[in-house]
């Protein structure tokens, strides 16, 4: 049975997107791409357009194009990024192949070689005494897209949210709201039952992490495998046990989008915590790859030292908890 995105979750979806972008948007808005209003209205994300998602290559072509043209003019001309030409199609096929073979972590960290050019696809956190590196980092395009219709075959299927870095998908979300008598466990079931890992965007290594989220709790998974998908808690912990502490100023889970998923914090995770590791299966001798995304207790405290860019600019008292 195909499950379409539940329209009753739109309130939570709108809240998250507005917190990240500073833009009050309709999930089906097809107007121009919205830049973040300022570093302090939202957390620094751009509102993307679902229509810009290229299903054949699982990229936001508009965001990728704008990033490459702003940072690597000669290379972007060499691959003819502006035109729907055989030259650009060869580059997109190369990009897709590199992500499939090496994973999104490696491609974002190292870029790719294509013919005579090397293309950087992400600029990491710069040192304070390197003006050019600082300038490059500010050119990164962190975007969030609502109601992303990702499937080439089941065209009505849509993700609640998808995060992109320079047009490359890095995180997906399925949202539930306890007020509608659904919770994070229903979001986990939706991933297991209705999100086919054969779809390009759900391929292993294509995204860093998939989040199941409600207003009370967060679960995460790095590899979707239908009913075998392994979801782990991504919660702060409360009174030395699971879950999240009460939040008198908002939702219990707002630390996820207001702290952990800011551009600065996400960059920290990508550069220092996310990994693709290899191990040998003792029975078969085959090399198996595992993708690792850190649990909350590994990144929560470091996120708390970064600038607070939430809309109301208040600091969160909940980021200091370590247990999960």
Whether the predicted pLDDT of 38 surpasses 80: no
- Residue listed under structure tokens 């996310």: 274
Mean pLDDT of 187-192: 97
Q: How many other CB atoms are found less than 10 A from the CB of residue 82?
A: 12
Q: Closest by alpha carbon to 124, among 231, 264, 228?
A: 264
Q: pLDDT for 232-245, tens place per residue?
A: 999 999 987 888 99
Whether the predicted pLDDT of 1 surpasses 90: no
Whether the predicted pLDDT of 4 surpasses 70: no
Mean pLDDT of 273-286: 88
DSSP conformational letter for 11: H
Residue 66 is predicted with a pLDDT of: 97
Instruction: Look up the pTM and report it.
Output: 0.87
Whether the predicted pLDDT of 196 surpasses 90: yes
Q: Is the separation of the CB atoms in 185 and 223 below 8 Å?
A: no
Whether the predicted pLDDT of 323 surpasses 80: no
Q: How far is CA 303 from the centre of its chain?
A: 16
Q: Closest by alpha carbon to 6, among 197, 175, 145, 210?
A: 175
Beta-ladder partners of 233 = 219
Residue 26 is predicted with a pLDDT of: 66
C-alpha 309/C-alpha 19 separation (Å) is 9
């Amino acid at each position: 049975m195909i499950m379409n995105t539940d329209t009753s979750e739109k309130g939570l979806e709108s809240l998250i997107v507005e917190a990240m972008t500073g833009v009050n948007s309709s999930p089906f808005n097809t107007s121009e791409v919205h830049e973040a209003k300022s570093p302090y209205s939202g957390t620094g994300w751009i509102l993307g357009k679902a229509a810009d998602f290229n299903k054949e290559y699982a990229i936001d072509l508009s965001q990728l194009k704008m990033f490459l043209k702003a940072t690597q003019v000669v290379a972007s001309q060499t691959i003819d990024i502006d035109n729907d030409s055989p030259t650009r199609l060869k580059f997109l096929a190369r990009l897709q192949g590199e992500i499939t073979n090496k994973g999104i972590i490696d491609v974002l960290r190292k870029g790719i070689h294509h013919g005579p050019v090397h293309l950087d696809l992400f600029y990491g956190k710069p040192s304070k005494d390197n003006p050019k590196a600082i300038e490059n980092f500010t050119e990164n395009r962190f975007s969030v897209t609502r109601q992303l219709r990702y499937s080439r075959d089941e065209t009505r299927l849509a993700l609640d949210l998808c995060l992109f870095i320079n047009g490359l998908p890095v995180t997906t979300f399925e949202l539930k709201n306890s007020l509608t008598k659904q919770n994070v466990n229903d979001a986990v079931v939706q991933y297991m039952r209705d999100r086919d890992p054969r779809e390009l965007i759900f391929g292993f290594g294509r995204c860093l992490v998939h989040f199941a989220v409600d207003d009370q709790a967060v679960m995460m998974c790095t590899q979707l495998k239908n009913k075998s998908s392994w979801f782990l808690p991504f919660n702060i912990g409360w009174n030395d046990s699971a879950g999240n502490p009460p939040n008198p100023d908002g939702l219990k889970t707002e630390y996820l989008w207001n702290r952990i998923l800011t551009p600065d914090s996400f960059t920290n995770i990508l550069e220092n915590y996310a990994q693709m590791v290899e191990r040998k299966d003792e029975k078969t001798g085959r090399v198996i790859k595992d993708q690792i995304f850190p649990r909350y207790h590994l990144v929560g405290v470091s996120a708390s030292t970064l600038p607070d860019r939430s809309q109301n600019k208040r600091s969160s008292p909940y980021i200091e908890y370590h247990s999960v």
